[in-house]
Structure 1
Amino acid sequence: MKQGLRWLVSLLFTIQIYLVMFVLGMVFAPWALVSREGAFAACKAYCRWVFFSARWMLGLRTEVRGEVPQGEVMVAAKHQSFLDILIIFHALPRPKFIMKKELLRTPIIGLYAKRLGCVPVDRGKRGVAIARMVEDVAREFRDPGQLVIYPQGTRVPPGEHKPYKAGSAVLYGELNQPCVPAATNVGLFWPRRGVMRKPGLAVVEFLEPIPPGLKRAEFMARLEQGIETRSDALMEEARQVARS
């Protein structure tokens, strides 16, 4: 009975956040179309609503740990669900994401992604995609901000492992900027697929920056070890709290 009620509340939560996305998207659209500030304002407001309603309806709280990057840096983040996107976006001053090309065709998300300066990637053509990504990033960095990339290229459920892709290393070398790894445990509470959401504390933690100038192999080793080790620790922390 308890699980059934939680599933129903999770379904209602999911329905309302997409309704609010549509409403806010339409309300802010005139401002967003003439100014990038309007797009940022809309998306930050949406994040705050999701965090508020998740806490109220689900008992799911969010927390940001570590020093939030402020300047022109690359953020390489663990990706487990939609929630970590929202937490990172809300925390960073001027974020722009590397995102799959297909999302640009969606009605609300596509409009705001373009206005925010997000960079689309065609995941089916690796070599061409990386070259195009570097070009697009260079163009969008005329408006300074924090470039967010998911080095595994997709959402990865807790307990699964997917290899870290070359795109993050290519950008790290091209941009010659610090890279801030980001770990998370959000997949324990808001999974990649399905309706069920669980109460708890969803965390994104920004880790120590990796300085520019490292060789590719060293960079990738430090990035993967840092993200995976800290994400595992955050998930174990959450499991211990649940058991207590």
Structure 2
Amino acid sequence: MMRLRSLLFAVLFYGGTVYYVLSSFLVALAGTPAMRRHVHQWTRYHHWLVTRLLRIPIEWEGEIPRGCWLIAVKHQAEAETLEVVRRGDTPVIVLKRELSDTPGLGWVMRRYGVIPVDREAGAKALREMLAAGKAAKAVNRAVVIYPEGTRTRVGDMPPLRSGFAGLYRALGLPVVPIAVDSGRAMAGLMKRPGRIRFAVGETIPAGLRRDEIEARVHAAINRFELAAEDRA
């Protein structure tokens, strides 16, 4: 039954995504606020499919505060990229440039507000990310970053990428860390029975040394991995 639901989820979600992308060209004529509402409708559609069709509950411990923050999120599956937008206050998302260059979808992402990063571009990519982050801060939008740099498998806790510390220092914003365990149920095409948990950690102040901020964020976003290690 879960295999059938997974296949139906893929058809409905990606089919629905095509609808939202195509209709966004018309929505864009109504202005930026309408486009952002349209994106949030897409995230709510995804949430409904996960919780109702797949029957995978999504549980939140704590709330993402409204306002301008640097939000650091663990990344294991597609689910958190949409769920954090759904629960957040229209945050700007740091993501790999390949996604923002996707025909159609990339245009929607850029109109909503993303910070594309080319991992191969080195210092140039970092300068572009910092400039885009400052632009988001100037209009009081939070910035979401996946500080480990890519999706991780369940149990993996790689070190944070250097871009996180650079963005933290340049923006001078407190950090809201979010732990996620979506990989157990949602990684891959075939979903598995289970649940998705989000845990919003204690806000970490701006202005800390690099080693301290990286250690605190790494521990906070890997809360579920560390708990599993302790149980083992």
Describe the SS at the equivalent of 1:87.
helix
Which position in structure 1 is the counterpart of 2:197? 203
Q: Quote how far apart the aligned CAs of 1:231 are.
A: 4.8
Match of 1:178 among 174, 180, 202: 174
1:148 correspondence with 2:128: no
In structure 1, how many angstroms separate the alpha carbons of the residues matched to 2:162 and 2:189?
A: 32
Match of 2:28 among 8, 26, 32: 32
> What TM-score do you get using the length of structure 1 for normalisation?
0.87
Question: Would you say how many aligned residue pairs link Structure 1 and Structure 2?
Answer: 231
In structure 1, how many angstroms separate the alpha carbons of the residues matched to 2:230 and 2:110?
A: 37
Which position in structure 2 is the counterpart of 1:240? none
Match of 2:107 among 108, 111, 117: 111
Task: In structure 1, give the amino acid aligned to 2:24.
Answer: F
1:213 correspondence with 2:219: no
Q: Quote how far apart the aligned CAs of 1:116 are.
A: 1.7
Quick check: 1:25–1:42 contact (8 Å CA) kept in 2?
no
Quick check: 2:27–2:38 contact (8 Å CA) kept in 1?
no
Task: In structure 2, give the amino acid aligned to 1:42.
Answer: H
Describe the SS at the equivalent of 1:220.
helix
Q: Quote how far apart the aligned CAs of 1:177 are.
A: 1.0
Q: Quote how far apart the aligned CAs of 1:92 are.
A: 0.4
> What TM-score do you get using the length of structure 2 for normalisation?
0.92
Q: How does 1:42-121 map to 2 (within 5 A)?
A: 42-121=38-117
In structure 2, how many angstroms separate the alpha carbons of the residues matched to 1:168 and 1:69?
A: 20
For each residue in 1:175-216, what CA deviation from the matched residue of structure 2 results, as whole angstroms up to 9, or x when unmatched?
A: 11101111001111001xx31112322122211111011111
Moved segments of 4+, more than 4 Å: 234-237
**Unaligned segments of structure 2, at least 5 residues:** none
Quick check: 1:98–1:119 contact (8 Å CA) kept in 2?
yes
In structure 2, how many angstroms separate the alpha carbons of the residues matched to 1:235 and 1:66?
A: 23
Describe the SS at the equivalent of 1:199.
coil
Q: Quote how far apart the aligned CAs of 1:145 are.
A: 1.0
For each residue in 1:155-175, what CA deviation from the matched residue of structure 2 results, as whole angstroms up to 9, or x when unmatched?
A: 001022322111111111111
Match of 2:216 among 209, 218, 222: 222
Q: Quote how far apart the aligned CAs of 1:232 are.
A: 4.2
In structure 2, how many angstroms separate the alpha carbons of the residues matched to 1:108 and 1:36?
A: 17
Describe the SS at the equivalent of 2:195.
strand
In structure 1, how many angstroms separate the alpha carbons of the residues matched to 2:225 and 2:87?
A: 18
**Unaligned segments of structure 1, at least 5 residues:** 238-244
In structure 1, how many angstroms separate the alpha carbons of the residues matched to 2:229 and 2:41?
A: 28
Percent identity of equivalent pairs: 30
Describe the SS at the equivalent of 2:140.
coil
